[in-house]
A and B are shown apart, each in its own frame.
Chain A
Amino acid sequence: MEKRVTFKGWTLPILLIAPQVLISAIFFFYPAGQAVWQSLFIPDPFGLSMQYVGLGNFEYLLSDPFYRASFVTTAVFSTLVTLCSMILALFLAVLADRLIKGSGTYRTLLIWPYAVAPAVAGVLWLFMFNTRVGVVSWYLGQLGYDWNHVLNDAEAMGLVVVASSWGRISYNFLFFFAALQAVPKSVIEAAAIDGARFWRRFFTIVLPLLSPTTFFLLVVNIVYAFFETFGVIHTITSGGPQQATTILVYKVYSDGFVGQDLGSSAAQSVILLVVVGLLTVLQFKFIEKRVHY
Chain B
Amino acid sequence: MAERHGMVEKRGAGLWLTHVGMIIGVLIIFFPIWLAFVASTVTQADIIRPPMPIWPGDQLWTNYKNALLSGVNVPVATMLMNSLIMAVGIAVGKIIISLLSAFAIVYFKFPGRQFFFWAIFITLMLPVEVRIVPTFEVVAGFGMLNSYQGLILPLIASATATFLFRQFFLTIPDELAEAARVDGARPMRFFWDIVVPMSRTNVAALFVILFIYGWNQYLWPLLITTDPEMNTIVMGIKQMFPSGDDFAHWPTIMATSILAMIPPVIVVVSMQKLFVRGLVDSEK
Interface residue ranges, A against B (CB under 8 Å): 1, 3-7, 9-10, 12-14, 16-17, 19-21, 23-24, 26-35, 38, 88, 91-92, 95-96, 98-100, 102, 106-121, 123-125, 127-128, 132-135, 138-139, 166, 169, 171, 174-175, 178, 185, 188-189, 192-193, 195, 197-198, 216, 220, 223, 227-228, 230-231, 234-235, 249, 252-253, 256-257, 262, 265-266, 269, 272-273, 276, 279-280, 283, 287
Query: What's the least CB distance linking B31 to chain A, in Å?
Result: 8
Contact B47 A133 (CB under 8 A): yes
In the assembled complex, which residues on chain B have CB atoms less than 8 Å from the CB atom of A133?
47-48, 50, 52, 247, 250
Q: Is the CB of A227 within 8 A of B129?
A: yes
B125-169 Cβ-contact flags toward A at 8 Å (1 or 0): 111011111111111000000000000011011010010000000
Residue on A nearest B98 in the bound complex, by CB: A20
Closest CB in chain A relative to B124 CB, distance in Å = 7
Chain B CB within 10 A, most for which of A108, A109, A166, A220:
A109
Instruction: Say whether B61 faces chain A, with CB atoms less than 8 Å apart.
Output: no
> Count of A-B contacts with CB under 8 A?
305
Q: A7-B108, A35-B133, A91-B25 are in contact. List 14 more A-B contacts (CB 8 A).
A: A3-B107, A9-B108, A20-B120, A21-B116, A31-B138, A96-B22, A99-B15, A113-B29, A128-B35, A169-B29, A231-B234, A256-B132, A269-B132, A273-B126
13 contacts between A and B (CB under 8 A): A5-B177, A9-B108, A16-B101, A27-B154, A102-B19, A111-B268, A113-B29, A120-B261, A133-B247, A139-B51, A174-B279, A198-B7, A253-B129
Of B18, B39, B101, B133, the residue contacting A98 (CB under 8 A) is B18
Q: Is B244's beta carbon under 8 Å from chain A? A: no
User: Interface stretch among B63-71, B74-82, B198-206, B252-260?
Assistant: B252-260
Q: How far is the CB of B241 from chain A (nearest CB, A)?
A: 9
> Does the CB pair A6–B107 fall under 8 Å?
yes
CB-CB nearest in chain B for A230: B219
Q: Which residues of B come within 8 Å of A, CB atoms?
A: 5, 7-10, 14-15, 18-19, 21-22, 25-26, 29-30, 32-33, 35-36, 39, 47-48, 50-52, 54, 96-98, 100-101, 103-113, 116, 119-120, 123-127, 129-139, 153-154, 156-157, 159, 162, 170, 174, 177-178, 181, 187-188, 190, 212, 215-219, 222-223, 234-235, 237-238, 247, 250, 253-254, 257, 260-261, 264-265, 267-269, 272, 275-276, 279-280, 283-284
Dominant secondary structure of chain A at its interface with chain B: helix
Per the bound structure, the CA–CA distance linking A198 and B97 in Å amounts to 49
- What residue of chain A has the Cβ atom nearest to residue B131's Cβ? A31
Chain A residue at minimum C-beta to C-beta distance from B20: A95
A121–B33 alpha-carbon span in the complex (Å)? 9
Within 8 Å by CB of B5, from A16, A100, A195, A279, lies A195
Given contacts A13-B104, A273-B130, A276-B127, contact A5 B174 (CB under 8 A): yes
Closest to B261 in A: A116
Give the most central of B15, B100, B110: most A CB within 10 Å.
B110
> Taking CB as reference atom, which chain B residue is nearest A224?
B127
